[in-house]
Amino acid sequence: MIAEFKLIEKIKKQFLVTQKNVIGIGDDCAVIKTGDKYLLYTIDSMVQDVHFDFDLPLSWDDVGYKAIVRAISDIAAMGGTPEYVLIALSLRKDFTENMFNHLLNGIELAVKEYDIRVIGGDISSSKIVSITISAIGSSKNTPVLRSGAKIKDDIYVTGYTGLSSMGLYILKEGIKTKKSKIFIDSYKRPRPRIDVGIKLINYASAMIDISDGLIGDLKHILEESKVGAIIEKHLIPVHDSFFKIAPLMRERVYEHILNGGDDYELLFTAPPEYREEIEKLSIELKTKITRIGSITKKGLYIKENDKIVPLKSSSYEHFKS
């Protein structure tokens, strides 16, 4: 099987864009400077049997909602404001009108919540259901790339990671547990950090949204910025709810927090002189923003009980055999 990252590397090479004012493949969005503003473009697919099943656990409302949210989160990750989406639907012959209505309602809920317009679409029949969203956003300020992290920058994360991944685990295993609502909600209805992203454009040196897992996406920043990092385990935020679930599940908590994915929180770096401003921002937007480590020259390490050990990612990769 070909690894996804290898395919992407190939595409990046073959379709290298050397145009002035254009940033092509390799970041959360493509960026085109037009006049005095930046236009942001991204495309993202949700595919049956990969991102959701035809039956449970996601309802069609959830699938529609999540498709939109995943795409606009890429715009948040660059500090942009999402404005428009185009939607390509592939539907199975047994996709009923009722399913279609629910799918549209989920989409409608998301676009209303984030004040976006659906301006175009395409419908095909197919043997599997898939939804591809092309999202368009803009920014007056220079968008935050993955490649801007500098040595000694702080590393921050918004909210909590691992909730969504634990939610999927609970749903898949059919675990009956109280206190599971927050996990399941995080999985079904993730909340992209649009407002935070827009404000962070003034402070962040590099930024990404967490779809592949905290470590997986940190690695993307490190690769693009050609730097390393050290994460302090005791600084990583752990949501209270993780302490309220069964002890057996608790054992794997850090696997979810570090490698879970599907969080749509923002992971970013910023120079230490912005610590105070970022704290103020956190209070202003009522959003937890936690400093979890700092950028180094190279390598990726985690500090735990005064021991520093190399950190390996095992983030989800579609094409891993």
What is d(CA 189, CA 204) in angstroms, rounded to the nearest whole number? 26
Q: How far is the CB of 15 from its own copies (least distance, A)?
A: 4
Phi/psi at 16 (5° precision): -60, 130
Comparing CB distances to its own copies, the nearer of 288 and 320 is: 320
Comparing CB distances to its own copies, the nearer of 90 and 205 is: 90
What is d(CA 51, CA 67) in angstroms, rounded to the nearest whole number? 10
Comparing CB distances to its own copies, the nearer of 136 and 267 is: 136
In 3D space, the residue among 39, 7, 5, 10 whose CA is nearest the CA of residue 22 turns out to be: 39
Comparing CB distances to its own copies, the nearer of 146 and 239 is: 146
Which amino acid, residue 82? P
Bridge-based pairing state of the strands 266-270 and 22-23:
unpaired
Q: How far is the CB of 113 from its own copies (least distance, A)?
A: 14
Contact 157, 214 (CB under 8 A): yes
What is d(CA 219, CA 5) in angstroms, rounded to the nearest whole number? 12
What is d(CA 103, CA 131) in angstroms, rounded to the nearest whole number? 10
In 3D space, the residue among 91, 290, 45, 62 whose CA is nearest the CA of residue 168 turns out to be: 62
Query: Is there a cis peptide before residue 271, judged by omega within 30 degrees of 0?
Result: no
Q: How far is the CB of 43 from its own copies (least distance, A)?
A: 4
Comparing CB distances to its own copies, the nearer of 49 and 223 is: 49
Comparing CB distances to its own copies, the nearer of 88 and 201 is: 88
Contact 213, 313 (CB under 8 A): yes
Helices (H) and strands (E) in the chain, counts: 10, 13
Judged by the rule CB under 8 A, the positions of this chain that interact with its own copies are 1-2, 4, 7-8, 10-11, 14-15, 17, 19, 22-25, 29-30, 32, 34-35, 39, 41-45, 47-51, 84, 86-91, 93, 95-97, 100-101, 104, 108, 111, 117-128, 130, 132, 134, 136, 318-319, 321
Q: How far is the CB of 4 from its own copies (least distance, A)?
A: 5
Mark 55-64 as b/e (b = at least 16 C-beta within 10 Å): eebbbbbbbb
Q: How far is the CB of 185 from its own copies (least distance, A)?
A: 24
Q: How far is the CB of 80 from its own copies (least distance, A)?
A: 14
What is d(CA 257, CA 237) in angstroms, rounded to the nearest whole number? 9
Q: How far is the CB of 256 from its own copies (least distance, A)?
A: 22
Comparing CB distances to its own copies, the nearer of 32 and 171 is: 32
